[in-house]
Structure 1
Amino acid sequence: MSAPTRTLADARAWARTGTELMLDAVAGLDDSAFSAPSTLPHWTRRHLVAHVAANADALGNLVHWAATGEEKPMYASAEERAAGIAKGPTLSGDALRTWLTDSAHRLAAGLDRLTDEQWQHEVVTAQGRTVPATELPWMRAREVCVHAADLGTGAVTFADLPKGFLTALVAEIRAKRGLAGLPEGPLPEVAAWLAGRPHALADAPALDPWL
């Protein structure tokens, strides 16, 4: 089965929607709620929010690369990426919210400034993949949409994510996991299962978290 067509406009819209969901989900959290566990093993919501904020800064490096031609990797090292996540528990809830908001706005502004030519410039992801800058909004959409659900506040679940996003996500993870078939069930539940997240599918084998 071929993957559905995913356009740049689609990915940019999903990134905006995911960002709004993420920001809305943390808007009312106090310090105690930020310290509560997320749905990801061993991560509090502080770790998760710090990761999403640091991801925006890292993708901003690739936007700079695409815009200027100056090579600027997402992270200088694996240690730098880990340090961004570890920074979460050291910050207040207000500081985390500000970092999340400001980094998201900086990334969106940088993407808005890319020209048609710059969108085609190639950059290298943290996993070492060489991709055109047109992949950056999709990379961000995955982060904000999936991790908004991972916060575990109840405000966002996979059922709240755009259908087109879920369809594209299922196609991508299915291909990466090399699965020939999928269990029967609602699209949001299938997507959550494929991503290794909590789901309501009966008799579906356990999968490790993806992303």
Structure 2
Amino acid sequence: MTAPVEVLDWWERGERHLGTALGRLTDEEFDADSLLAGWSRRHVLAHLVDDADRLAAALGSARTGGRSPAASADGAQLEQVEALPPDQLRAAVLAGTQRLAEAVRAMPDPAWSAQLRGADGHETSAAEALWRRCREVWVHAVDLAAGISFADVPDDVLAALVDDVFRTWDAADRTPDVVLFAGDREWGTGALAVAGPLAAATAWVTGRDAGEDLQADGPLPTLAPWI
């Protein structure tokens, strides 16, 4: 496998997008809720730091021919990062991104096919793991509620996110009975036709809004969680 060029581009742009959202937050706004139910902005940022560090470690293992450990988020460490003063929390997010960028740059092409083992025991390729980070930064940049929405996400990334949601639902046999039309794409084969802008469709299927900007032949269903 060669380097996942498209995903690398999406990821790089996504990290910059996250930096833009982070830069828009004033110190006083760090303590407010994010758009993700039950998560404060601080928790979203601490999660992103932890995610970057775990992926950097996993890529290091892939590069040296090892298997990544089945690591899960360290609750105590997350709480420590979450409690940092705003300037230190900003610095922690940017430092985590930098550590991950260094790990990505060090990856030779063949290492992208290496299998990484996650905390749930499932294995995925290093390339797929980078896509998962990509979706994290784009979606959580919106979750920070810093004046950035899905309308600010490139269409190719939005379509990839909707693809990811439907794949997740299909794997769990939880796909809603809908056919979704957005942009020039179509997802699902259900009885209820749902249509609208790609950004609005992405916000709906990822659970970030109730689909107010979509049109449908009937009431919109309650969607299964994505991730």
Scaled to the shorter chain, the TM-score interval is: 0.7 to 0.9
Question: Does the aligned pair in 1 maintain the 2:56–2:99 contact within 8 Å?
Answer: yes
TM-score (norm 2): 0.81
Specify which structure has the higher proportion of strand.
2
**74 and 166 in structure 1: CA distance in 2 versus 1, 3 angstrom threshold:** farther
- Alignment match, 2:56: 60
Question: Aligned pair 1:201/2:214, yes or no?
Answer: yes
Q: CA RMSD in A?
A: 2.0
* 1:153 aligned onto 2:146: yes
Question: Does the CA-based 8 Å contact 2:165-2:206 persist in structure 1?
Answer: yes
Instruction: Please name the residue that 1:191 is paired with.
Output: 202
For structure 2, the residue ranges without an aligned partner over 5 or more in a row are 181-193
| Structure 1 unaligned residues grouped into runs of 5+ | 1-6
C-alpha deviation, 1:85, in angstroms: 3.6
Give the equivalent residue in structure 1 for 2:99.
Answer: 106
| Displaced runs of 4 or more, over 4 A | none
1:62-96 deviations in Å (ceiling 9; x for gaps)? 10110112333262x45x1x334433441111111
**Contact 1:60–1:110, Cα closer than 8 Å, also in 2:** yes
Ranked by relative contact order (alpha carbons within 8 Å, sequence separation 6 or more), the top structure is 1
- Residue type of the partner of 1:71? R
For the Cα contact (< 8 Å) 1:120–1:134, is it kept in 2? Answer: yes
Amino acid in structure 1 at the alignment position of 2:162: V
Structure 1-normalised TM-score? 0.87
Tell me whether 1:13 sits opposite 2:24 in the alignment: no
**Alignment match of 1:33 (pick from 29, 34, 37):** 29
Aligned positions of 1:39-118 closer than 5 A: 39-73=35-69, 75=71, 77=72, 80=74, 82-118=75-111
Greater C-alpha radius of gyration: 2
Q: Percent identity?
A: 35
2: CA distance, partners of 1:107 / 1:89: 19
Distance 1:175 1:46 in 2: 30
Does the alignment pair 1:144 with 2:140?
no
Q: Which amino acid aligns with 1:92?
A: P
For the Cα contact (< 8 Å) 1:196–1:206, is it kept in 2? no
Equivalences, count: 201
Q: Distance in 2 between matches of 1:71 and 1:176?
A: 24
